Amino acid sequence: MQERKHLAMLCERFGIAPPEKDVDHFNAAFNSFQIRWEQHGEFSTYSFYAYDEPAGLFADSALKKVPVDWMAQLNGQLMVAVHATIVAPADIDYDENADLGALSVHFADNPVVGSKVTGGAASVFTDFRIHVDGFSRFLIVNHGLRTEQAGRLLQRLFEIEVYRVMALLAFPIARKLRPALNKSDRQLYSITDAMTRSDHNDGELLDELTTLAAEVENYISSNHFRFAAASAYYQLVEQRVNDLREVRIQGIQTLGEFIKRRLEPAVNTCESISQRFTQLSERVSNASQLLRTRVDIIIEKQNQGLLTSMALRAKMQLRMQQMVEGISMVAITYYAASLIGKITEALHMVGWKVNPELVEGISIPFILVIIAISTKRIHKIIANTTE
């Protein structure tokens, strides 16, 4: 949003229609320069084109045509600055059959790489270095470029440099994470080695594994985007290099060879670190699952022992309850028979011809039967209630 507002300020100054609110790219021609703005996922690119004949190659950039105060108000951090110049062979006394080492004078005497591109319509040279002005340089020798070809060629070269630098953003992170990765790997080995011994504490090991898993997942989640972006940017670089359709110039490396030899190892390092973290996360997960299984088995055995003990106690309580019930039946029978004996004694005293002792003795079996039947009915009622 701020970038569009800033572009609108530039357009307003030169009387040009500003970009619409939802667009992610913008092209416009001003008095002495042309601008191309494009918004990407995590960065934006500004390309400025100027048509003039400077005092020397790379002496003046197109930015000198842009209002200084407007440039000073640009937000964000500068990631890549590229200066490209298109010249005719006669302007630099270029001869592809001669010693191309003379071109290095335009690149601060650095070794130059280059090739013929776009079906031989142009030759491109660069050193892939940042010079004292803060810009990297591309020298394009025009052998017969059409206007559209020149525009596409510039765009591809700019994108190669931008995506190359963006891909390398993950390399310092990968180097920084390597010690942490090795440390986590050693820690996992120590834990799994302890799991093979019988004197280890499963609870403590599980706590260590949980902490290690959290650390590894934090590393992965914090840096996954950067590593994935590096791989995507590298693929874009390869695609743009292929679009150049390079033809080797004898004696120097092509752009594709230079990029492959220097960028590919860095990208492979990033991919290796990312894959190792992913594999480490899977190994930690497997170890955690194995240890949890062992802990669950131990807990299950303890629970089984506890249930067995509880069942034994319940059985003992049941037997004691049955014994108490038997004693209680005898006691109830004794008291009931004594009560009947007292009643018959009273009847005998008032004149009834009954033998208290005989009646009391005869009543005991009947009392036992009645108590047994009553107890059985009570048990049945309780059983029905619990169901």
Within a 10 A sphere around the Cβ of 116, how many other Cβ atoms?
20
Please name the residues in contact with 90: beta carbons below 8 A apart, sequence gap of 6 or more.
Answer: none
Identify any residues that bridge with 123 across adjacent strands, giving them in sequence order.
116, 141
Distance CA 26, CA 259 (A): 30
How far is the CA of 48 from the CAs of 34, 39, 315, in angstroms? Answer: 6, 15, 93
> What is the three-class DSSP state of 140?
strand
pLDDT band, residue 247 (cuts 50/70/90): very high
Q: Is the pLDDT at 190 greater than 60, yes or no? A: yes
Residue ranges and CATH numbers for the domains of the chain are 2-144 (no CATH), 168-306 (1.20.58), 319-386 (no CATH)
Q: Are strands 34-39 and 44-49 parallel, antiparallel or unpaired?
A: antiparallel
Largest CA distance in the chain: 159
Query: Which of the residue ranges 234-248, 277-291, 304-318 would you say has the lowest mean pLDDT?
Result: 304-318
Which residue type occupies 291?
A: L
- Quote the tokens at residue 99: 């010693």
Mean confidence (pLDDT) of the chain = 87
Query: pLDDT digits over 81-126, tens only?
Result: 999 999 988 888 777 776 777 788 889 889 999 999 998 999 999 9
> At 85, which helix (H) or strand (E)?
strand 82-87
Q: Is the pLDDT of residue 387 over 60?
A: no
Q: Which helix (H) or strand (E) element contains residue 137?
A: strand 136-142
Q: Is residue 386's pLDDT more than 70? A: no
Type of residue found at 368 = L
- The pLDDT score that the predictor gives to residue 232 is 94
Helix (H, G, I), strand (E, B) or coil at 134: coil
23-70 confidence digits (pLDDT tens): 888 999 888 899 999 998 889 999 999 887 666 788 888 888 899 999
**Per-residue pLDDT reduced to its tens digit, 266-289:** 999 999 999 999 999 999 999 888
pLDDT of residue 255 exceeding 90: yes
Residue at 82: amino acid letter:
V
The CA distance from 230 to 175, in Å, is: 14
List Cβ<8 Å contacts ≥24 apart for 273-280: 273/174, 273/177, 273/178, 273/181, 273/227, 274/174, 274/223, 274/224, 274/227, 274/228, 276/181, 276/185, 277/177, 277/181, 277/216, 277/219, 277/220, 278/220, 280/181, 280/184, 280/185, 280/188, 280/216
Burial profile 55-89: b = 16 or more Cβ within 10 angstroms, e = fewer? eebbeebbeebbeeeeeeeeeeeeebbbbbbbeee
Q: Name 337's Cβ contacts closer than 8 Å, sequence gap at least 6.
A: 360, 361, 363, 364, 367
Q: Is 245 helix (H, G, I), strand (E, B) or coil?
A: coil
Query: Which residue matches tokens 């062992």?
Result: 294
Residues in the chain: 387
Element (H, E) at 371: helix 356-386
pLDDT tens-digit readout, 117-161: 998 999 999 999 999 989 999 999 999 999 899 999 999 999 999
Tokens standing for residue 310: 């509880």
User: What's the whole-number mean pLDDT along residues 320-325?
Assistant: 76
